[in-house]
Amino acid sequence: MALIVISGYSDFDYVKAGLKQGAVNYLKKPIDTDELVEALQSAIEHIEKQKNYQQMADLAMQAQTRALLQSTDTQNGKNLMQKLQISRDQNIRLIGILNPKPPMELVAYLQMMTTVKGSF
């Protein structure tokens, strides 16, 4: 999501409030068409960067989960558990599923589960 604030006020308090809400731009009325197009292009780039960042974070979590499951080194396992924010007080459940049908539904389900820290 990218927020663009459009206002008839030039008061800095409105700009500041928009920035606190995560606005990527602030446009003052009357809006110049070129300025609006530029703001929209910037917002699209912002959204794409967010998507790429989230994909990289998901891949990193999957790699750490895989490393944790395959690790035989206790210290390395503890470090990975910290990175994945898994405490020793939590119950850990490992589910292995071979050839799920259809796999995308399983992936979507696992991503919705708040108790599932990662999967691959």
pLDDT digits (tens, 9 = 90+) for 14-69: 777 877 888 888 888 899 999 999 999 999 999 999 999 999 988 888 888 878 87
Q: Is residue 31 part of a domain?
A: no
Q: Is residue 85 part of a domain?
A: yes
pTM for the full predicted model: 0.58
What the block records as the tokens of 86 is 């898994």
Q: Is residue 110 part of a domain?
A: yes
**Total tally of structural domains belonging to the chain:** 1
Q: Is residue 41 part of a domain?
A: no
Q: Is residue 28 part of a domain?
A: no
CA dist list (Å): 22 to 6, 9, 25, 28, 68: 14, 18, 9, 17, 35
Residue 85's domain comprises 52-120
At 98 the pLDDT is: 60
CA 73 to chain centroid, in Å, comes to 30
Q: Is residue 69 part of a domain?
A: yes
At 75 the pLDDT is: 85
Q: Is residue 95 part of a domain?
A: yes
